[in-house]
Amino acid sequence: MLPSPEEFTARIGSIRSRIAAACRAAGRDPAGVVLMAVTKTHPPEAALLAAGAGLHTVGENRVQEGATKRAACASAAPGLRWELIGHLQSNKARLAAESFDRVQSVDSLKLVRHLARAAAELGRPLSVLLQVNAGHDPAKFGAEPADAPALLEAALAEPSLRVDGLMTIAPLGATPEETMELARRTFAALRTIRDDLAARAGKPLPELSMGMTGDLEPAVEAGSTLVRVGTALFGAR
């Protein structure tokens, strides 16, 4: 069951307080961190709840689910941005390019080619983030850090793609303490990878999508510009 609008607003306030505290610790402006509502597995009403509370971006894991929800919400929340944050198979690239404002999970040369072709056929550029497995987690998707330069070069060479930055997901540890330490290392690694890639490519790559409900503080401290929050907003699925 979704929270009431009042409870949802209170939850947003709690998350924003956490973001603000992490920004203070890092000497950052909280305005530089976007809060994305992750609506995966929740009904379309979750996206409308987010839009009504002033959140402008929602994240979905599955292409078809996101496409269906976007269509259901189109008239009530026409300005809401939809971003794909889950793994994308190349055979669904066309639907992803049609249905999402940005794809955060671009992790292979093959996917770059398929998305670029789909965006070109649609006649509009597609914003993307390159997903990098900065934590070297075999359970996570993402390009290996050593492959990131070639992936960026390929994506930048496609006129129909706009590369905004990078995304990662931190590994889980055996204990909460280990999980937090892995998160710190992973997010610091992605920041370094981004800085190196930007210097080599001569492109700023401003977006760093990293951090979720349980690890948003180390993500913000490492430079995250977008945190992907579902559980703390909507409750456990």
What pLDDT score was predicted for residue 105?
98
Model confidence pLDDT, tens digit, residues 83-107: 999 999 999 999 999 999 999 999 9
Model confidence pLDDT, tens digit, residues 9-57: 999 999 999 999 999 999 999 999 999 999 999 999 999 999 999 999 9
What DSSP letter does each residue of 100-143 carry, written as one string? -SEEEEE-SHHHHHHHHHHHHHHTS-EEEEEEB-TT--TTS-SB
What pLDDT score was predicted for residue 65?
97
What pLDDT score was predicted for residue 90?
95
Beta-strand pair 207-209/161-167: parallel
| Partners of 166 in the β-ladder | 130, 208
Model confidence pLDDT, tens digit, residues 139-159: 999 999 999 999 999 999 999
- Is the pLDDT score of 237 beyond 80? no
- Mention every residue, 6+ apart, whose C-beta is less than 8 A from residue 145: 132, 133, 134, 136, 189, 193
- Is the pLDDT score of 234 beyond 90? yes
Nearest to 136 by CA among 127, 126, 144, 148: 144
Largest Cα–Cα distance of the chain, in whole Å?
48
Model confidence pLDDT, tens digit, residues 166-223: 999 999 999 999 999 999 999 999 999 999 999 999 999 999 999 999 999 999 999 9
What pLDDT score was predicted for residue 70?
97
What pLDDT score was predicted for residue 236?
78
